[in-house]
Structure 1
């Protein structure tokens, strides 16, 4: 159910685009994100900062798309969101010496500091790459191709990255009976 809630705005954006075009789809995405945030707040009482950020970015860039009647703004929205997330990880690591990936996942998984650092850099690079890739598709292909990429390509690449990350983590996660991960034992 959580996955459906998470993908609710993009699925509605995709469907609305296929039926009515980019401007109606943009309005639908804004409305769906507002509904999503309202639902999360009612159901869980708390909305995560990333969800608020996503709402702000869709309202800002979606609103600009509708007001200026230019699809350029909505095409920049994923890139801005990716770069904000990657930039947050980068600034956290370099400026504040804080690993936000570890802060987010540290209670669920016990990993050595170098592995946390690699995860943080991996996600930073992934978000930077996704931002560039989104712009490349947006400026080199038609809007229909961009929308398809936004849904299928973006989610597919995220899924592939998470699988690769899981494989990487599997080498470092401690078993209940192990004192240390295999590659850290003498």
Structure 2
């Protein structure tokens, strides 16, 4: 469920982006609503609200959520300040590649890969499986970053659709593949002998 919370601001961003730009009067001021820049403002606002509610409810945010929020604030603010969508186009690639870097760094920093720190409380797997799973997440984030960058600067008219639904689709497919991979090893674990006494 947590993986899909990040998509709430993206979906709101998509809805506002698809609205035909129009001038709206509010509290004596006129502003444009609809299109990429008001969608960017919605992305920033909804991210602050969503993660703010999570912080109040949980008394904390995960590091990945802090990274996502900070990237949204930085790249979104730059987009609005300079009135250039180029900054926003770099948000998804940079965030994905930072995630890949963090997962890769966990192979060398600490006593276990990051995916084991995240899921180890719920699953018991051999260290080799955890290592392969962590590498799979590195590859996933590298691919997502590259795909977002390529589409953003090659198919600009399709970019926002891909940013929302392409990213969501890739995440769902990867989680399904991960579930299938884990189910094989969980079956092996369940069928293994219960005697775990180590040999002298």
TM-score (norm 2): 0.84
Give the aligned length: 179
Structure 1 distance, partners of 2:13, 2:110, is: 37
Highest Rg: 1 or 2?
Answer: 2
Q: 1:3 to 1:95 in 2, by over 3 A?
A: closer
Equivalent of residue 78 in structure 1, options 73, 84, 92:
92
Equivalent of residue 115 in structure 2, options 101, 106, 116:
101
3-state SS in 1 of match to 2:123: coil
Equivalent of residue 162 in structure 2, options 139, 144, 149:
149
Structure 1 distance, partners of 2:64, 2:35, is: 27
Structure 2 distance, partners of 1:89, 1:176, is: 25
What is the 5 A alignment of 1:16-35? 16-19=16-19, 20-35=34-49
Q: Name structure 2 gaps, 5 residues minimum.
A: 20-33, 194-200
Aligned-residue CA RMSD in angstroms? 1.8
Q: Name structure 1 gaps, 5 residues minimum.
A: 181-186
Q: Is the 8 A contact 2:116 2:130 kept in 1?
A: yes
Range 63-72 or range 37-46, more displaced: 37-46
Deviation at 1:100, TM superposition (A): 0.4
Q: 1:5 to 1:82 in 2, by over 3 A?
A: closer
